[in-house]
Chain A
Amino acid sequence: MADNLLAIEDLHVEVEGKEIIRGLNLSLDKGEIHAIMGPNGSGKSTLAYVLTGRPGYEVTAGKVFYKGEDVLDLAPDERAKRGIFLAFQYPTEVPGVSVVNFMRTAYNAIHSDAQKSAMAFRMYLQEKIDLLEIPSELVDRYVNQGFSGGEKKRNEVLQMAVLEPELAIMDETDSGLDIDALRHVSEGVNKLAGPDVGIMLITHYQRLLNYIRPDKVHVLMQGQIVTSGGFELAERLEAEGYAQVGEEFGLSQEALAELKQKEKE
C-alpha cells in the first residue's frame, strides 16, 4: 500500500451530518489515469473535496494515504505543497487579483526553496501558456472574473501545468464545455499526463474519456466504488445507463428507483 501514490482505505465522509462516502477503497499510482464515473449525488465531488481538505467534510472513518503519508489532518495548503492538486468544477472568482500574481504566489508557496522573481515567473508561465496554447491575455485578468466556462477550465489546467502536481484530481473538468472547449482542455491534460503524475478524472459522462484515455474506470454509486474496469466499462455506462449497472452490483431498490427517476429527467 505504501508504494501507491494514493491509497484510500474504507473512507467514510459526512457532510452536515449526512453520510455521503460510505466505505470507499481506491488506489492510484504515478503515471496512471483513473476515471471516477458516477451519477449526480453519488459522492464524486465530495471525494475530490475530502482529498484536498475542504472544510465542512468530516471523515468519520477510514484513511487516505498519499505517498505513504496519512494526509487527512493536513490543511489544504499543506496537501498542495506535497503535490496534490484539484481542478475545480466551479473555479472561484477572486476579484482584484490577477491570474499571474495568484499563480506566482502559489508557485512560490509550493516551491519555497526555489522561488521565482516576477520576471522569471513570467517567462516560466509563458512556456506553459505556449504549451497549452492558451491566450496570454488570460493571465493578466483577475482570477476567473468574467471568464467563460471554457476559460475557467483552461485556467485550471494552466494552474496544473504551472504547479506540476504529482496527483491531479479533475472534478468534472468537462462539465459546461462545448466540443471545441472540451477538445482544448483535454489536449492540455494529455500534454501534462506522463510518468510523473497520477490523474483522477471525475466525470458523469463518457465523452471526456474519448479525449483522455483512462487506464482504469471506477463506478461510484451511493458513496462506494461498486465496480472497476477498463474503458469498456465507460462505454457500457454510456450505453446502458447507471441504473442498469447499479442493479447488477446490488444497489438497494430505493437507490435504484432514485437513479431511474434521475435518468428519466
Chain B
Amino acid sequence: MTDGYLTKAAAQRLADDLGEPGWLAERRTEAFDLYEKLDYPDPKGEEWRYTNVRGFDFERFSSPVPGGAAPLLPDDLAAKGVIFEDFRTAAAEHPELLKEHFFTDVPVDEHKFTALHAAFHSDDILVYVPRGVEVTMPLEVARRVSSGGSIFPHTSIVVEAQAALTFVDRFGSEDFPDPSLCASVVEIQAGRGGMVNYISLQDWGRTVSHFQTQRFTGGRDSTVRSLAVNLGSSFARTQVESVLKGEGAFSEMLGLYFADSDQHFAQRTLQFHDGPHGTSDLLYKGALKERSRSEYSGLIKVAKGAQGTDAYQANRNLLLSDESLAHSIPQLEIEANEVRCTHGATVSPVEEEHLFYLMSRGIDRVTAQKLVVFGFFRDVLDRIRVPGVRDDLSDAISAKVEGDKRLEVAV
C-alpha cells in the first residue's frame, strides 16, 4: 500500500505536517491501532440495523490534506473571550482547553469509524464561549473533500454557563469521479443555563460516504438544539446523541432528510435523560423518492434518577415512489418511574388523491408534489431558527422534487 492512503505512517505524517505536540500526535497512532483492532459494527445490533458496513473498503481513500480556511472570528467576539480556531492554533494557544474537551464525550473506540477519525482528524474546529457571552450571529464552517480523498473533521464546542451560540457545520461538494470519505465527530457541551444550537448540513456529492457522530451534553437548565440534515452523499450515517445531564435540561432534536436515486441514509438518535426534570423533543422527518432507502432508529433512555422526565420522539417518512423504503425503529429504555415518554413513527406514501386535488386546480404534477413535500416538512422548517439555513433547505427540497421531472423526461 502506498503512503498516501490511510496508513499508520500517514497518520504520523499528518501530525508532523500540522506540527502537533506529542500528546496530540500520540493519540493519532494509538487510535490507528484501535481502528485496526476493531471489527466492523454488527449489522444485527440495534445501532447499525439495516446498515451493513461490513467490508467497507477504507483502503480506497487517500489520507486527508488539511487546509480548510482558517475560522474567522469577529473582533468584538474575540474581545469577549470567544475562541473559534482550528486545532493547530488551539494546540498552541489553548492546549488545556483542547485537552479537556477533545474526544472526552465520544469514546475513540466507539466504533471503527470514530477510531479512524481519531487517527486522521483534520480541519478541526474548537469553539469556546465564555460564561454569560451571547454570540448572536451564527458561526459557520464549510467542509470540503477532494475526489478519492478523505476528511475527518472534528467539531468541539463548549458553551459556558448562561452563554449562547449557534453553529452551522456545512458539508458539501460536487459529484466526484472517485469515491470519497467523510467521518466526522461533534462534541458539544452546554453549561448551566447555556444555550447552543448546532446545525449540520450534509449535501455532499454522490460519490461521498458520510459518517457522523454528534454528542451533546447539557448541564443544569441548559438548552441544546440540534438539526441534522442529510441531502447528499451516496451513503450517510448520522448518529445524534443528546445527554441531558443537569436537572431541568432541555433538548430539541430535529432531523430532515430527503433521499433520491440510490441514496441510503441511516439515522440513529439517543435521548439520554441522566438528570431529573429534563425535557427532550425529537422530530425527524424524511422524504424518499426513486429507489432510495432510509433507516431511523431512536432510543429514549431514562436513567434511574431521572424522575420527572418528559421525552417526545417522532419519526415521519413520506414515500414519493413505490420503490423507496423507510424503516423506523423507536425504542424505550426506562429505569425511572415518574416519567412521560411518547414516541411514534409513520411511513406514508404520497396519495394520488392529494395530487389529483391539487392538479384539478391547475397546478402541474411537479408543483403539486412540491406543495405536498413542503407541507410535510413544514413543522421542521418552521422550527429552524436560522433564516439562511431555512432558505437553503427550501431551495434544496425544491431541487430534489424537480429532479423527478428531469427523470421522467429522460425515461
Write the nearest CB–CB distance from A155 to chain B, whole angstroms: 12
Q: A162's closest neighbor in chain B, by CB?
A: B361
Known: A94-B354, A109-B364. A77 touches B374 (CB 8 A): no
Q: Are A142 and B360 in contact (CB under 8 A)?
A: no
Write the nearest CB–CB distance from B195 to chain A, whole angstroms: 28
Chain B residues in 8 Å Cβ range of A76: 356, 359-360
Q: Are B375 and A97 in contact (CB under 8 A)?
A: yes
Is A173 part of the contact surface with B, judged by Cβ < 8 Å?
no
Contact with A along B329-369 (1 / 0, CB 8 A): 00000000000000000000001111011111111110110
Q: Are A163 and B354 in contact (CB under 8 A)?
A: no
Chain B residues in 8 Å Cβ range of A96: 374-379
Question: Of A54, A80, A88, which one neighbours B362 at CB under 8 angstroms?
Answer: A80
Is A106 part of the contact surface with B, judged by Cβ < 8 Å?
yes
Chain B residues in 8 Å Cβ range of A142: 375
Chain B residues in 8 Å Cβ range of A86: 360
Chain A residues in 8 Å Cβ range of B393: none
Question: Of A79, A97, A110, which one neighbours B374 at CB under 8 angstroms?
Answer: A97
Write the nearest CB–CB distance from B347 to chain A, whole angstroms: 15
Chain A residues in 8 Å Cβ range of B303: none
Is B371 part of the contact surface with A, judged by Cβ < 8 Å?
yes
Q: B376's closest neighbor in chain A, by CB?
A: A96
Write the nearest CB–CB distance from A146 to chain B, whole angstroms: 14
Q: Are B358 and A102 in contact (CB under 8 A)?
A: yes
Chain B residues in 8 Å Cβ range of A52: 360
Q: Are A92 and B361 in contact (CB under 8 A)?
A: no
Q: B381's closest neighbor in chain A, by CB?
A: A96
The CA-CA distance from A102 to B357 in the complex, in Å, is: 11
Known: A97-B371, A102-B371. A92 touches B359 (CB 8 A): no
Interface size class of A (residues with CB under 8 A): 20 to 34
> Which residues from 68 to 125 on chain A have a C-beta closer than 8 Å to any C-beta of chain B?
75-77, 79-81, 85-86, 88, 91-97, 101-103, 105-106, 109-110
Is B314 part of the contact surface with A, judged by Cβ < 8 Å?
no
Q: A79's closest neighbor in chain B, by CB?
A: B360
Is B372 part of the contact surface with A, judged by Cβ < 8 Å?
yes
Q: Are B354 and A77 in contact (CB under 8 A)?
A: no
Chain A residues in 8 Å Cβ range of B358: 94, 102, 106
Is A55 part of the contact surface with B, judged by Cβ < 8 Å?
yes
Is A224 part of the contact surface with B, judged by Cβ < 8 Å?
no
The CA-CA distance from A95 to B376 in the complex, in Å, is: 7
Is A159 part of the contact surface with B, judged by Cβ < 8 Å?
yes
Chain A residues in 8 Å Cβ range of B360: 52-54, 76-77, 79-80, 85-86, 88
Write the nearest CB–CB distance from A8 to chain B, whole angstroms: 18
Chain A residues in 8 Å Cβ range of B353: 92
Q: Are A55 and B352 in contact (CB under 8 A)?
A: yes
Q: Are A75 and B365 in contact (CB under 8 A)?
A: yes
The CA-CA distance from A94 to B351 in the complex, in Å, is: 10
Question: Of B354, B359, B377, B379, which one neighbours A75 at CB under 8 angstroms?
Answer: B359
Chain B residues in 8 Å Cβ range of A55: 352, 356
Q: Are A105 and B357 in contact (CB under 8 A)?
A: no
The CA-CA distance from A76 to B352 in the complex, in Å, is: 12
Chain B residues in 8 Å Cβ range of A109: 361-364, 367
Write the nearest CB–CB distance from A45 to chain B, whole angstroms: 13
Chain B residues in 8 Å Cβ range of A159: 361
Known: A55-B356, A80-B360. A94 touches B365 (CB 8 A): no
The CA-CA distance from A48 to B374 in the complex, in Å, is: 29
Q: Which of B362, B364, B371, B375 has the most CB of A within 10 A?
A: B362
Known: A54-B356, A76-B359, A77-B359. A94 touches B375 (CB 8 A): yes
The CA-CA distance from A61 to B353 in the complex, in Å, is: 25
Chain A residues in 8 Å Cβ range of B371: 94, 97, 101-102, 105
> Which residues from 365 to 401 on chain B have a C-beta closer than 8 Å to any C-beta of chain A?
365, 367-368, 371-372, 374-379
Q: Are B372 and A105 in contact (CB under 8 A)?
A: no
The CA-CA distance from A80 to B351 in the complex, in Å, is: 20
Question: Of B351, B352, B357, B363, which one neighbours A88 at CB under 8 angstroms?
Answer: B357
Chain B residues in 8 Å Cβ range of A81: 362
Question: Of B363, B365, B377, B378, which one neighbours A105 at CB under 8 angstroms?
Answer: B363
The CA-CA distance from A86 to B362 in the complex, in Å, is: 11
Which 4 residue pairs across A and B have the least CB separation, nearest first?
A: A96-B375, A96-B378, A80-B362, A106-B361
Please give the residue numbers on chain B whose beta carbons come within 8 Å of chain A beta carbons, in ascending order.
351-354, 356-365, 367-368, 371-372, 374-379
Please give the residue numbers on chain A whose beta carbons come within 8 Å of chain B beta carbons, in ascending order.
52-55, 75-77, 79-81, 85-86, 88, 91-97, 101-103, 105-106, 109-110, 142, 159, 163
Instruction: Return 17 A-B CB contacts under 8 Å, by A number.
Output: A52-B360, A54-B360, A76-B359, A77-B361, A77-B364, A81-B362, A88-B360, A92-B353, A92-B354, A92-B357, A94-B357, A94-B371, A95-B378, A106-B361, A109-B361, A109-B364, A163-B361
